[in-house]
Amino acid sequence: MRALTWQGKKKVSVEEVPDPTIQEPTDAIIKITTTNICGSDLHLYEPLSPFMHKGDILGHEPMGIVVETGTETGDLKVGDRVVIPFQIACGHCWMCTRGLPTQCETTQVRDQGMGAPIFGYSELYGQVPGGQAEFLRVPQAQFTHVKVPDGLPDERFVYLSDVLPTAWQAVEYAHVPDGGTVVVLGLGPIGDMACRIAQHKGYRVIGVDLVAERLQRQRVRGVEVLDLTEHEDLGEVVREMTDGRGPDSVVDAVGLEAHGSPVNKTVQKIAGLLPDFVAKPVFETAGVDRLGALYTAIDMVRRGGTISLSGVYGGMADPLPMLTIFDKQINLTMGQGNVKRWAPEILPLLLEGDAFGVDTFHTHSLSLDEAPDAYRMFQEKTDGCVKVVLKP
């Protein structure tokens, strides 16, 4: 089959690789019909390179049709139309039964000290072949799927793999009070969807980014937008907009590739240039994250408010202003999106109609062969690119 593979820093290519096969009774193979590129893939493309291996298949936002199953896949049958959650989880362990499939105790990547494995997401998350390919082996398939009905286009459902549940969780974890205000930092696919969900829940939404098209995408939907590049003191601007107090909640949908903290960018660059055996420890322990967005969130959230991190961070010794966090009594919530925790709440909203505008959410629909160009375009944010769906 054809698959998009990691070949080196900022280098991906479509290669012919062996078809996946059933290895465990709980496996299924799906033929992929739509598969997306995610902001998280950009971390593998560049800063998380030390954890990648040449030939790794990328991708964790696929959907398709089941073409083969093992003997223990429960009610999952050949011919079923399914969206595949980005994390692999069993559905029956202590964590899964408490709505935390990202921490699944059956599948945790224990040799790396990490939670549930993620498709196509480096050795940190189990080095599982990903879904930017023609076919995908789905482990723990009895639980690692969301069945969707026929009759509507893939675009209606494909974001259940990651963007919708992640953004939904970001807003849930933000604990916005009724009628309250939430600032969403970063208006890539995750922040964009978080704005839509927060609006759906009736909150006042303020969105921040520095890319004109991304700001415009929210402005036309009624979000109050702020261009990062136009304001020296964003915290002050937002306080002025919120009775001098600051917003109840801030969703950080930026993560470790934030613009605006050059010192950390330098370290990140240096780590990226080092040989793997040096770069890994440096990356994991030396606070190489760019913390610009998080610092902004800490500054702007009101006292006693909540910061919900959905942007991915990766350092093990990041310097944090604990005095401020403690004194302002800030609640900090975070984590990978627990897809199956939220999918049952979201799916009915997609079946009733297009509640979140997902049918037209993508800016680019391309073939798998065009994926290398798409990665470049998405990283450089050219051609108005916000979300790419690939059709293998």
Ligand X SMILES: NC(=O)c1ccc[n+]([C@@H]2O[C@H](COP(=O)([O-])OP(=O)(O)OC[C@H]3O[C@@H](n4cnc5c(N)ncnc54)[C@H](O)[C@@H]3O)[C@@H](O)[C@H]2O)c1
Interface residue list for Zn ion (CB under 5 A): 38, 40, 61, 89-90, 93, 96, 104, 106, 162
Residue 180 interacts with ligand X (CB under 6 A): yes or no: no
From the list Zn ion, ligand X, none, which binds 93 (C-beta under 5 to 8 Å, kind-based)? Zn ion
**Taking the CA atoms of the chain, what radius of gyration do you get in angstroms?**
20
* Cβ neighbours around 114 below 10 Å, total: 18
DSSP secondary structure code for residue 200 in this structure: H
Strands 331-334 and 2-8: unpaired
Residue 60 to residue 161: CA distance in whole angstroms: 8
Residue 228 interacts with ligand X (CB under 6 A): yes or no: yes
From the list ligand X, Zn ion, none, which binds 260 (C-beta under 5 to 8 Å, kind-based)? ligand X
* Cβ neighbours around 313 below 10 Å, total: 18
Residue 315 interacts with ligand X (CB under 6 A): yes or no: no
From the list ligand X, Zn ion, none, which binds 96 (C-beta under 5 to 8 Å, kind-based)? Zn ion
Nearer to ligand X, 190 or 347 (CB): 190
- In sequence order, what are the residues at sequence separation of 6 or more whose Cβ sits closer than 8 angstroms to the Cβ of residue 344? none
Hey, which residues between 95 and 134 contact ligand X (CB under 6 A)?
A: none
Residue 43 interacts with ligand X (CB under 6 A): yes or no: yes
Of 91, 235, 260, 314, which lies in the binding site for ligand X, with binding defined by CB under 6 A?
260
Residue 151 to residue 154: CA distance in whole angstroms: 9
Specify the DSSP element, H or E, that contains 155.
Answer: helix 154-157
Residue 86 to residue 119: CA distance in whole angstroms: 6
**Total length of the chain:** 392
From the list ligand X, Zn ion, none, which binds 186 (C-beta under 5 to 8 Å, kind-based)? ligand X
Nearer to Zn ion, 24 or 233 (CB): 24
User: What percentage of the chain's residues is helix, strand, coil (to nearest 5)?
Assistant: 35, 20, 45
The size of the interface with ligand X (CB under 6 A), counted in residues, is: 33
Q: At its nearest, how many Å lie between Zn ion and the CB of residue 340? A: 10
Nearer to ligand X, 151 or 262 (CB): 262
Residue 63 interacts with ligand X (CB under 6 A): yes or no: no
- 334 in Cβ contact with 310 (< 8 Å): yes
From the list Zn ion, ligand X, none, which binds 147 (C-beta under 5 to 8 Å, kind-based)? none
Q: At its nearest, how many Å lie between ligand X and the CB of residue 82? A: 19
- Which residues of this protein are in contact with ligand X, per CB under 6 A? 38-40, 42-43, 162, 166, 185-191, 208-211, 214, 228, 253-255, 258-260, 292-293, 310-312, 336-337
